[in-house]
Each structure stands twice: as C-alpha cells, then as structure tokens.
Amino acid sequence: MKPETPIDPVDVVAVAAHPDDLEITCGGTLALLVKQGYRVAMLDLTDGEPTPRGSPEIRAQEAEAARQVLGVHLRLCVGLPNRVLMDCPENRFALATWFRRLRPQIVITMAGRTPAASPDHYQAQLLTEAARFYSQLTKWDDRFAGTAPYRVPHLVYAPVPADAEIRHWHSTFIVDISETFEQKLEAVRCYYSQFDEQRYERLRHFLTCYNGHLGTRCGFRFGEMFALPHPLGTSNLVQTVLGGQASFAPVTITPPASPHG
C-alpha cells in the first residue's frame, strides 16, 4: 500500500525492523488489543530479506498469515532496506509519513540492543523515536508526501529480553496475555522459512518460559512487559495497583457495641 492511499486512523501502531519481530515481542498484546475493540496496525520497516532461508515473496506471505492469526486490522511494510537499516533523515521521513497517515494514539516500538542478532532492531527503536517527533513538524509537508502534521500522543517500548544492557526505565508494566498466548505462538509459527521445527521448538520453549515468568510475577499465567519514557501516571491508585481490571467495594467497619449499652 502506498502512503498516499486513503486510510482510516488507528488506535495503536506497532513498529519493528522485520516481519516476526512484533509477533515474538508483543504479539499477545496486539491480539488482545484487537479483542478489546481497538484498531491496530503493524509496521514492518523492512521485508526482512535477504536471509539464508527466505525470499521477499515468502516473507510477505508469512507476515500476512501472522496478521490474520493475530486479527490485526492492517499490516504495512515501509520498504526500508534490511541489514543496513539506519536512523537517518530519509528513513525518518518515510516512517513519519505513515504516522501522519495512520494518526495513532499510541506507538509501540521494539526496544533494546541485540549485538548477537541484527543491529536493525536498535536502529528501529531510534528511528521510531525520531519519526514520532518528525511527524508533528510544520512547514515541511513536502518531505512527508503532503500529509498534515500529527503529534503522536504516546510512545510505549516493548523491550527485547536479550538486550545487551540492563535498562532502568521510568516505569514498566505487564499486560496479561493469558487468553492470547496461544495466538502469539501460532503467529510466530507462520514464519516457517525462519523457524524450522528445531528452531521453532527452542523459540516456543523460550517464549513459554519468559512470558510465563513475566505473567506469574503479576498473578497472570502469561504476560508481556512494556516500558514508558516517563513515570506511569494515574488518578486511581486502587485500579493501578490491582492491574486496572479488578475492583472491590469499600470495607464497612461496624463499631463494637458499647459496653454500657
């Protein structure tokens, strides 16, 4: 789909370097957002090729199959080059144009450095942060295909578990993906070119353990962690502490009867 094609705004846009990155990192949450009635889009900055195992056609088919499994409304490939993805002005313009077209309330980006894997992952984080800022700039519309400026209200990080650094985020939270964890695994399984039976089994084991660990810390069966570039604000301490989904009635205390009647 070309950036100038008319498109309805979405609630959430998730951005990562390659097809399968978002499924592995936050696929359960994306599926859950759809179930909750939000309109969600996935943006792959590259098509993931070349790789030793795939082709552009195969990767596109796998990405579409995974989108259908998650139920996500829209999936787009920005068309930036794999393996040499960089946070540079031209790439910022390309991604910011999509932010202007999609006009999301929230942008989620995969975050962290993966020196044992693709450096594209960290560049995607830097690129998303910069494009979010570029999206709001005025008097530069010619660099964004004539689209109108738009300020993305919220940025959320989806940290990679294999980050080279120990991050001290301003705030983190865990999303309960117990009801969508199997969807997440099914979406990852769509990438047959990247994960043969042996590689998929290792990944399935890792995700089960990792998402199980995150969820258990909050009383869920499975969870995915997110971080914010600022403290987490709330106007309801109780709902925040209880995970935003539980409630209880105030306790009524009956005073003891007077010993004097």
Give CA–CA dist 152/150, Å, rounded. Answer: 6
Give CA–CA dist 251/12, Å, rounded. Answer: 38
The predicted pLDDT at position 258 comes to 58
pLDDT digits (tens, 9 = 90+) for 210-259: 999 999 999 999 999 999 999 999 998 988 888 755 444 445 555 656 55
24 band by pLDDT with thresholds 50, 70 and 90: very high
The predicted pLDDT at position 135 comes to 98
Structure tokens at 3: 């950036």
Q: Which of 182, 197, 221, 199 is nearest to 23 (CA)?
A: 182
pLDDT digits (tens, 9 = 90+) for 158-198: 999 889 999 999 999 999 999 999 999 999 999 999 999 99
The predicted pLDDT at position 248 comes to 46
The predicted pLDDT at position 72 comes to 98
Q: Which of 254, 256, 255, 236 is nearest to 246 (CA)?
A: 236
pLDDT digits (tens, 9 = 90+) for 108-163: 999 999 998 999 999 999 999 999 999 999 999 999 999 999 999 999 999 998 89
φ, ψ (nearest 5 deg) of residue 14? -110, 135
pLDDT digits (tens, 9 = 90+) for 45-96: 999 999 888 899 999 999 999 999 999 999 999 999 999 999 999 999 999 9
From first CA to last CA, the distance across the chain in angstroms is 80
Model pTM?
A: 0.90
Domain ranges of the chain: 12-234
Q: Which residue is listed with tokens 């530069």? A: 140
Q: What is the mean pLDDT of residues 18-38?
A: 98
Give CA–CA dist 203/200, Å, rounded. Answer: 5
Decide: 114 and 161 in contact? Cβ < 8 Å. no
The predicted pLDDT at position 5 comes to 64
Q: Which CATH class name applies to 12-234?
A: alpha beta
Collapse the DSSP code of 183 into the 3-class scheme (helix H, G, I; strand E, B; otherwise coil) and give the result.
helix
